[in-house]
Structures are given as structure tokens and as C-alpha cells.
Structure 1
Amino acid sequence: MNPRVRIVKNEVLSDNWYVLKKITFQYQKSDGTWETQAREAYDRGNGATILLYNRAKQTVVLTRQFRMPTYINGNGTGMLIEACAGLLDKDGPEESILRETEEETGYRVKNVHKIGEAYMSPGSVTEILHFYMAEYTANMLTGEGGGLEEEQEHIEVLEMSLEQALQMVKSGEIKDAKTIMLLQYAQINGLLEPTSKPQHILIAGPYRSGTDDDPRLIEANISFMNEIALQVYEAGHLPVLGEWYALPLIETAGSRGIGDDIFNRMFHPSSVRLLDHCDAVLRVGGPSQGADEMVRVAKEKGKFIYMHLHEVPLIK
């Protein structure tokens, strides 16, 4: 303990929600003399906070809820955008933040990385906050989140790009200190920067759509997607068309024509299976329910989505 501090009196002023104490103490100044001081300290226990981020989508998950202290100090709606957080209670920091993450956001993350600790309001609150980061993907979503009803939590889950979140800090839409610290940590350390390694990219475009099954028009669609695939390849990546896999398999399985039972059983499902082994989907060409479905499935699987050819050089 600090030899320059002597606790004289410790009074509990309130023990309603958490514990508010008035502490009278003597403090030895640099000239050796002692002076008596009194301070109030609010003890609500320690807590943990986490920023969920998705490198492929360049997004983060935040929350929005009503905060009374901000409402009585200038926040007109009382609503505050912030990173998921909660008190430790009787658990350790990592166990607590895993629990809070699922309760508030609906994501059951697996690997969390601690980046530090901080006193958030050392002039009046005793709390130490433990800071974490964790990557999330769509398949980690186990529920809607929103907090616990018995704790009177009404939490809205927000997913947005890191760029948008940082802009909201700049504009003042995000004013929560822990959230600003986590977002800036992600920015400074490049946690959401796209990986520079070559990507395996599924080209999704119209195959039969708009052709009335005219072989010449179908061939033109395939030729168009092959040209796109070549550009993706020359950009340093590995392109693939679902048709490259599906059509030979369908023929070998005995299909007699487009749209028969064998074709319908294998064509789209083979592309969905292929998607599991791809890093991203590039959506090209005109209307196509099948291609749009691939984009939807890719989003569910947490894959990166490119919607136009001109975006391909961005991943070089």
C-alpha cells in the first residue's frame, strides 16, 4: 500500500444499486506535511468490453440502448451506441465477456483476444474495464441478442462498416469512450484490412436467366463469365464458376437436358457446396435468381461480396 496515504474513515452513503462510499483520508504532500481529504467513490465492480469484427466484410458489431446518465447530461434521446460490455459479477473477464457477447449480440464467438485494461473514470468510479477483440462470422449467430429481460435490457444490435463507425466517432454520433478506444485500436492495428493473399473467388452470374434455354444465349453467358474469370485470374486470384463443376457432373450423372430432374438436383446445390471452399463471391451480369441466391448464401457464411467487376482490382 502507498505509505503516503492513511485511510481515516470509510462511510457507505448508498448500497442501493451498487456501493457509494465516502472515504476520508490523509495524504502526505511532497514537503512531508499531511493534509486531510475526502472523496466519494462508486464501486460497481469490474467489467469487460469487446469489439466484434469481420475482416471479410469489413464490419463491426455494436449495440444501442438507453443510458439514463447520458439522458440527464445532454443526450436528447438517451440512446447510446457502444461496444458490447458487462460486469464481471463472480466470473473471470474472458468468461464474462463471452457470456455478455451472446446475450447482447446473439453471437457465440470462440476466440477472444485481450488487448488491455483501463480505469474508465478514475476520479469517481473504481471500475477496471478489460478490453477484448474477437472475429465473428454469420455462422456464429445463435440468437437475436438484445440482452436479458429480467435485467431490463432492451438492446438493439447494429452491424456497420468500420469506416462508418469511425465516421460516427468523428461526427459525434458515437461518444462512448470504451467504444472509441476499441474502434481506434482496430484502425491503428489494421485488424480489418483486407488480406493480401490471393483469394478463391466464385463468379456468380446469369446462366439460363433471360435465355429461354436458347443454347446460343446460354453459351454467351458462359463466355461472358469466363472473360470475367480471366480478369480475376490476371488480378492474381483463383476464379471458379459453379458451371465448371456442375455441368460435367450433371452430364456424367445422365442428365438428358437443361431443367430435368438430374439437372435440378445437382446444378445449384453443387455451387453452394463449392462456396464453402471459396473466400468470396463476385456477382456479375444481369438478373439471375440463382446468382442472387449465391450472394445471399455467401453473406450468411460470412464471405466477402464483390458486386461489380470494377471492384476486382481492390482485392489485388
Structure 2
Amino acid sequence: MNPKIRIVNEEILSDNWYELKKITYMSEARDGTWTKQTRESYDRGNGATILLYNQEKQTVILTRQFRIPTYVNGNETGLLIETCAGLLDKESAEESIRREAEEETGYKVDKIQKIGEAYMSPGSVTEMLHFFVAEYTPMMKISDGGGLEEEHENIEVLEYSFQKALEMIKTGEIKDGKTIMLLQYAQINRLFDPVPRQQHILVAGPYRSGTGDDPALIHRNIEWMTETALQVYEAGHMPVLGEWYALPLIRKAGSLNIGDDIFNQIFHPSSIRLLQHCDAVLRIGGPSQGADEMVRVAQGMGKTIYRKLQDIPRIV
């Protein structure tokens, strides 16, 4: 506990719904003096909330229900658009939000992800809110939702496009804090971006350029490009070097020297053929006419061009 805070007295002002206390405490100032202060603290337990989203449809599930505190504070209808939420009822946050999602929205979600916790009104309310997101599909809908009759809940289930929900923040149609936080989390973390797919990526860089055809320097270039290809592989994609494909063919065809007729007949043309079966080119390293040619041809084919390894999306 904080040694600079001493609870002097707690007085229950109301326990009609939840517990409202009047708390008197002493706090130590920076100069070492102690002062007495009194505050009210409303303890309604902790809660959880979840944003249900569909990446394929680009939609979210929200709810609308009457909230009396907003009605007495300027909300003309008293209706508030929110993410599904509820108090923890002697359950873990995850168990609670799964139950609330099913009761309120009718969706029995599968995998859920916790993204954080926050005090929502720390000046007067003790509640800590646990935030979750989960993907939903039409197959997960097992009821109409709407809440529990025995708890007199009258909840309307809404499905909006994600972009419309963001616009509703700007227009003031969505004013609920937890809902704004979850929608902005989805926007910042790009939950609605297309899921990256595995790509076949041609790694193009200097092979002979700048080496004077020195075998040791050429080998160094190949090793460096192969090391880069390994990082592309570790990012979840399928890398390939034109050299991996061309050099064995060149040797088998009888080439005796780098740059002889057989070498030239196979080296770049084979890479062009290979490129037709690739999704993208990663152009790395310094000057190289061959690598630049791969980029030009790839652009003409409408392939993606990456200039840095970090630009390639990770899928594993």
C-alpha cells in the first residue's frame, strides 16, 4: 500500500444498488506535512467490454440501450450506442465478456483477445474495465440477443460498417468512452486491413556488379542475398534468387566462364521466366543492371516492388 496515504474513516452513504462510500484519508505532501481530505467513492465492481468485428464484411456489432445517467445529463433520448459490456459476476474477465456477448448480441464468439485495462472514471468510480476484441461470423449467431428478460434489459443489436462507426464518433452519434476507445484501437491496429497472404518473392541484388568477376566477391554477394532470403522466409513468405534457378542450368548446359555465350543465353532470360511466377521483387544492395532490369520488368507485369526487407508484411 502507498505509505503516503492513510485511510482514516469509511462511511457507507448508500448500498441501494452498489456501494457509495464517504472516505476520509490523510495524504503526505512533498514537504512532509499531512493533510486530511474527504472524497466519495462508488464501488460497482469491475467490468469488461468487447468489440465484435468481421474483417471480411468490414463490420462491427454494437448495442443501443437506455442509460438514465445520460438522460439526466443532456442526452435527449437517453439511448446510447455502445460496445457489448457488463460487470464481472464472480467470473474472470474473459468468462464474463463471453457470457455478456452471447446474452446481449446473440453471438457465441470463439477466440477473443484482451487488449488492455483502464479506469474509466477514476475521480469517483472504482471500476476497472477490461477491454477485448473478437472476430465474429454469421455462423456464430445463436440467438437474437437483446439481454436477459429477468434483468429487464432491452438491448437493440446493431451492425454497422467500420467506417460508418468511425464517422459516428465525429458526428456525436457515438459518445460512449469505451466504445470510442475500442473503435480507435481497431483503427490504429488496422484490424480491418486485408490479412497478409504468403507471397513468392524474388530477391534481386548485385551478383557480378562491382566484383570484377572475382569468384570470392561473387560468392559473398550470393551469401548475402541468401541470408536476406532466409529473413523473407522467416517472415512467412517463399523467397527465391534468380541465381538459385539459373546457375545450375548454366553449368549443366556446358558454360565454361561467367559471361560466355551459354551464360548469357540463360542467366537473365531464366530470371525473367521465374519472375512471371513471383508475386513481388525485393530489390536490395547497390548498383546492378540485372537487378534493375528485374525491377523494370516486374513493374511492367504489375508486381509489387519492395525496397526494404521491413516493408514486407509478416504473416508468421
TM-score range with shorter-chain normalisation?
Answer: 0.5 to 0.7
Equivalent position SS for 1:147: coil
Equivalent position SS for 1:192: coil
**Runs (4+) off by over 6 Å:** none
Q: State the match for 1:125 in structure 2.
A: 125
Amino acid corresponding to residue 96 of structure 2 in structure 1: S
Deviation string, structure 1 residues 204-259 (Cα, Å, up to 9, x no partner): xxxxxxxxxxxxxxxxxxxxxxxxxxxxxxxxxxxxxxxxxxxxxxxxxxxxxxxx
Q: State the match for 1:6 in structure 2.
A: 6
Deviation string, structure 1 residues 121-148 (Cα, Å, up to 9, x no partner): 0000000000000000000000000001
Equivalent position SS for 2:6: strand
- The 2-side partners of 1:42 and 1:131 are apart by 21
1:32 aligned onto 2:32: yes
Q: CA deviation at 1:152?
A: 1.1
**1:58–1:193 contact (8 Å) kept in structure 2:** no
Q: State the match for 1:81 in structure 2.
A: 81
Q: State the match for 2:155 in structure 1.
A: 155
Q: State the match for 1:224 in structure 2.
A: none
Where in structure 2 are the equivalents of 1:213-232 lying within 5 Å?
none
Superposed CA RMSD: 0.9
1:135 aligned onto 2:139: no
5+ residue gaps, structure 1, are: 199-316
Q: Which structure carries more relative contact order (alpha carbon 8 Å, separation 6+)?
A: 1
Where in structure 2 are the equivalents of 1:295-306 lying within 5 Å?
none
- The 2-side partners of 1:85 and 1:196 are apart by 31
Q: State the match for 2:23 in structure 1.
A: 23
5+ residue gaps, structure 2, are: 199-316
TM-score after normalising by structure 2: 0.62
- The 1-side partners of 2:156 and 2:197 are apart by 35
Q: CA deviation at 1:89?
A: 1.4
Q: CA deviation at 1:193?
A: 1.4
- The 2-side partners of 1:71 and 1:3 are apart by 41
Q: CA deviation at 1:195?
A: 3.0
**1:115–1:131 contact (8 Å) kept in structure 2:** yes
- The 2-side partners of 1:22 and 1:31 are apart by 27
Where in structure 2 are the equivalents of 1:164-203 lying within 5 Å?
164-197=164-197
TM-score after normalising by structure 1: 0.62
**1:48–1:96 contact (8 Å) kept in structure 2:** yes
- The 1-side partners of 2:10 and 2:195 are apart by 55
Q: State the match for 1:109 in structure 2.
A: 109
Equivalent position SS for 1:132: strand
Amino acid corresponding to residue 38 of structure 2 in structure 1: A
- The 1-side partners of 2:194 and 2:175 are apart by 27
Deviation string, structure 1 residues 67-115 (Cα, Å, up to 9, x no partner): 0000000100000000000000100000000000000000000110000
Q: State the match for 1:282 in structure 2.
A: none
